[in-house]
């Protein structure tokens, strides 16, 4: 059933354990030639999956698990009521590389399988493959609130969303100009997001989230599919010594980014991008759209993130809003938002009705419908 909400906590936990093990195994498979413990991790995760599924139902061995990872995850999951986004997820493509869906969807379902002291794979596995989203967020947010100052928190959090990548010197200048705290580490652009020609090495920011897009042959795409940022390299013999150009192949109304030099460029860790920058994009989009409504004032993350936004009209009407961007409804339902109004991105508008049923004390909207509601309340014509 599409957009179903789990009724059985045991099934949900089993699904999460299998998904986490599958994700870790997929990462280990892609690093089997460079990481000495990769095969050991594959064997351990095969054991986890087999234990959860029971005798005779799990993969026969590590290579059998890899075969499962190249098909829809529903073939492994024990739960009877699996969200479509998870059931349809494929973690490894035909060439044995991680799919974008592994990060976009899979990491929403991760959980700790072992105590940290008993999990040596944490020394080399990327954090998004074994940490839950709230762990990554909490590590960043603990640094955000370290000053105890609401202004520092708001400015620094906005900076991570608006500037997840860029030239290292420029990032420092922008951060200082904004008065933001250095709450996240910026590292070199990952190799799979860099293109090289005779003129140098280059990267492209997604026009939606501004994080480096993945380069795969002539294809350049954002790893978060809902941003619909898909481009094609347009490189001819005449300009192989100049910065390469992109041609948009997505129907979305997006600007085509210019190539940026990779030398000296930096970006936040993938886990920070996925769990802080990506969910922050629809928050700031909603802020921008509400500010275009006459007579509406917006405060972001008041009281150190008690809710995501508070919108007020000059007449005194107020809305407290939480913005949620999750593939799985259970992630929202099991950690019920504090705000009365819950808003999901327009690309998740199919979640509005099932969320409203699961959260009867909340009002649930898509971004566009909520903005229309505010316009109506303020007497403005619909956008």
Give the per-residue pLDDT at 304: 86
Report the alpha-carbon distance of residue 81 to residue 84 in Å, rounded: 9
Give the per-residue pLDDT at 108: 78
Report the alpha-carbon distance of residue 222 to residue 231 in Å, rounded: 9
Q: What is the pLDDT along the chain (383 residues), one digit of tens a residue?
A: 345 555 456 667 788 889 999 999 999 999 999 999 999 999 999 999 999 998 878 899 999 999 999 999 999 987 667 778 888 899 999 889 888 888 888 777 777 787 656 788 888 888 777 766 666 667 777 887 776 788 889 999 999 999 999 999 999 999 999 999 998 989 999 999 999 886 789 999 999 999 999 998 899 999 999 999 999 998 764 455 578 999 999 999 999 999 999 999 999 988 889 889 999 999 999 999 999 998 899 999 998 889 999 999 988 899 999 999 998 888 899 888 999 999 999 999 999 999 999 999 999 999 999 999 999 988 864 44
CATH code reported for the domain at 272-378? 3.40.1350
| Residue 214 and residue 192 in contact, taking contact as beta carbons nearer than 8 Å | yes
Quick one: DSSP state of residue 95?
T
| Residue 124 and residue 151 in contact, taking contact as beta carbons nearer than 8 Å | no
Report the alpha-carbon distance of residue 153 to residue 301 in Å, rounded: 8
Report the alpha-carbon distance of residue 246 to residue 251 in Å, rounded: 14
Query: 3-state class of 249 per DSSP?
Result: coil
Give the per-residue pLDDT at 1: 38
What's the half-sphere exposure (Cβ side, CA atoms, 13 Å) at 182? 8
| Residue 225 and residue 327 in contact, taking contact as beta carbons nearer than 8 Å | no
Long-range contacts of 45-54, Cβ-Cβ distance < 8 Å, separation of 24 or more: 45/21, 48/17, 48/18, 48/21, 48/113, 49/18, 49/21, 49/22, 49/25, 49/76, 52/14, 52/17, 52/18, 52/21, 52/78, 53/18, 53/78
| Residue 230 and residue 250 in contact, taking contact as beta carbons nearer than 8 Å | yes
| Closest-CA residue to 290 (of 350, 368, 351) | 368
Query: So where are the chain's domains?
Result: 9-131, 137-269, 272-378
């Amino acid at each position: 059933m599409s957009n179903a909400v789990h009724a059985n906590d045991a099934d949900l936990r089993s699904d999460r354990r299998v998904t986490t093990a599958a994700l870790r195994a997929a990462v280990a498979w892609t690093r089997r030639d460079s990481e000495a413990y990769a095969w050991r991790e594959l064997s351990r995760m095969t054991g986890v999956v087999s234990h959860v599924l029971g005798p005779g139902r799990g993969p026969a061995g590590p290579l059998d698990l890899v075969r499962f990872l190249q098909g829809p995850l529903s073939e492994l999951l024990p739960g009877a009521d699996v969200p479509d986004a998870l059931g349809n997820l494929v973690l490894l493509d035909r060439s044995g590389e991680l799919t974008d869906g592994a990060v976009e969807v899979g990491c929403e379902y991760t959980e700790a399988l072992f105590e940290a002291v008993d999990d040596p794979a944490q020394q080399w596995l990327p954090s998004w493959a074994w940490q839950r989203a709230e762990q990554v967020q909490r590590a960043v947010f603990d640094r955000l609130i370290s000053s105890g100052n609401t202004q520092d928190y708001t400015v620094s959090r906005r900076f991570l969303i608006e500037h997840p990548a860029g030239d290292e010197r420029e990032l420092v200048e922008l951060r200082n100009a904004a008065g933001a705290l250095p709450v996240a580490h910026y590292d070199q652009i990952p190799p799979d997001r860099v293109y090289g020609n005779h003129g140098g090495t280059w990267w492209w920011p997604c026009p939606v989230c501004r994080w480096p897009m993945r380069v795969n042959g002539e294809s350049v795409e954002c790893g978060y599919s809902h941003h619909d940022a898909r481009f094609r390299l347009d490189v001819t013999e005449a300009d192989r010594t100049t910065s390469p150009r992109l041609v948009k192949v997505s129907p979305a109304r997006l600007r085509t980014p210019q190539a940026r030099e990779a030398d000296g460029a930096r970006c936040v860790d993938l886990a920070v991008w996925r769990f802080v920058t990506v969910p922050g994009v629809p928050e700031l989009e909603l802020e921008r759209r509400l500010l275009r409504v006459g007579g509406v004032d917006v405060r972001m993350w008041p009281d150190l993130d008690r809710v995501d936004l508070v919108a007020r009209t000059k007449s005194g009407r107020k809305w407290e809003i939480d913005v949620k961007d999750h593939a799985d409804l259970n992630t929202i339902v099991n950690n019920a938002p504090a705000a009365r109004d819950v808003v999901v991105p327009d690309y998740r508008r199919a979640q509005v009705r099932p969320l409203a049923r699961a959260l009867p004390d909340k009002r649930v909207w898509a971004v566009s419908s909520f903005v229309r509601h505010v316009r109506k309340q303020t007497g403005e014509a619909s956008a």
